[in-house]
Chain A
């Protein structure tokens, strides 16, 4: 690697380290996790009691039991090491590989004390990922591609067909996004079950108010199954879009190109990782909170997919929407009959019930496809 300064990686890692330093300092001073909650209350009974009426949620930065006393000093020192590595990355770019390993490791470890309000850890990992590729090649680095994919960068999606590494990086992106989403939703689901099935008030009290984070080895299984299932969904969606564009619309397109677009479009799903920090009481925890988290990340994913398909097929918006309506209708049917039927431990899943509603949505999508003149050949 040349001595050229990896400025982008340096700025990201430095900003991440600074946020993590502030987070560690505040957690140390507080002696407990930092908590932001939706509203105050007079008594815990209003939130977790048997006659609780209030809808309440909280975001907790830091896991109780790992941040008190000497731990707080340890975390503060790690943030300074991270700061040093970020500065060193700028001063001596030739050492980028070892420095980026340290930055990434400390960013991930930092999640224990709040991960620099989550943002710090994300910036740290992205900075390390981009820095790892080196300054001469950082635009082709995996993490830079992830940022561009999430930003819905049209040039990025357009250039995927000419990038020889696109399918490899797309597969990594898919796995990466689903590891994060699997951890977030797995831990959330495990804790939600503990709160919903609690035999005493002490369990929800400790999890919700004190920021305790009980974990179970079964969550690892959830993450692995989540990746496997995501691979199947990816292949299904890619094949559906491929057959519609190539078979039905007679467009020249490679399956690998469509598969790359679909996999990169999965990147926003990684934001489901924030569910690790957010929990709520009984009135929100079962449906509302995961539903809105999934809704936001999946709408983002659909927008990324639309941008990707539009750019790679070089079609107008109407045609793209049409392709989406047909593919969406077929994918929904496959998803609801096959993927949604899997009963995975600690996984969050939504099904469309009753079946009449599913058929109505599918019908609407197909009518939409006709209105957008998807099947008209120009």
Chain B
């Protein structure tokens, strides 16, 4: 089972790296749709991070621009701890707690002397996974409301001939704004989106991390049951052998 332990260790380490990097990576983004990018030969993306920073990048045939600002700069509020973005702090706390709870899994796999505590460690692993799941789903359930109340979605202004997007267009974590029927872009596509928004890499990493930790904990748990069954079977066999020699 040594090989299995190494595999579980790798899985857990990958999950921890995913959860840790998710903290600094963007969790939600607004960008040009694939069709708009190709037709305009441009790229535009606004990434919102858990640490309340917003990074916008614009690349057109004539200009390249990039800017990072604090989220507060896009609101009409002056208080950086404004209630509307408290959900980001909650999510961050949940990710950190989930991350911290996954550490015992690694320790248990590295230190064989802790093997008798594996049952409890598997339970802690399940808990870590559940917390990371909650953080992911809590974020997607909350993000649209505060974003729709921003004064502007991006710190960089987009070219004037592009389809306008306002914060009130954001009604869910996933969504899109279609190319209007009068747009010249429809020469290439008969229908399509101009803007798309969705959870970003950080969110996907946190979600994947929850899945991987759940997998590692489940395997650890089942392995424990399996070992117990094997031990019992061996004991049974030994008892049988002893009885037959006594007879």
Residues of A within 8 A of B (CB): 14, 21, 25, 28-29, 31-32, 41-44, 68-70, 72-73, 76-77, 80, 83-84, 87-88, 90-92, 200-202, 205-206, 209-210
Contact = CB atoms under 8 A, between A and B. Distances in A.
The size bracket of the interface on B is 20 to 34
B208 A25 contact: yes
B200 A44 contact: no
Nearest to B175: A69
Interface string B36-61: 00110100000000000000000001
Nearest to A84: B215
B189 A92 contact: no
Contacts of B4: 87, 90-91
A205 B207 contact: no
B215 to A, nearest CB: 6
Given A31-B196, A209-B35, A210-B35, A87 B219 contact: yes
A332 to B, nearest CB: 44
Contact of A44 (B39, B190, B218, B223): B39
Residue among B11, B189, B212 with the highest chain A CB neighbour number at 10 A: B189
A201 B207 contact: no
Contacts of A91: 4, 219, 222-223, 226
Contacts, number: 71
24 contacts: A14-B7, A29-B200, A29-B201, A29-B204, A31-B196, A43-B41, A44-B39, A44-B188, A68-B174, A76-B207, A76-B211, A80-B215, A83-B215, A84-B215, A87-B7, A87-B215, A87-B219, A88-B222, A91-B226, A200-B190, A205-B189, A209-B34, A210-B34, A210-B35
A76 B222 CA distance: 22
Contacts of B200: 29
Interface in B182-214: 187-190, 196, 198, 200-201, 204-205, 207-208, 211-212, 214
Given A25-B208, A32-B34, A209-B34, A84 B198 contact: no
Contacts of A21: 208
B70 to A, nearest CB: 24
Contacts of A205: 35, 38, 188-189
Contacts of B11: 83
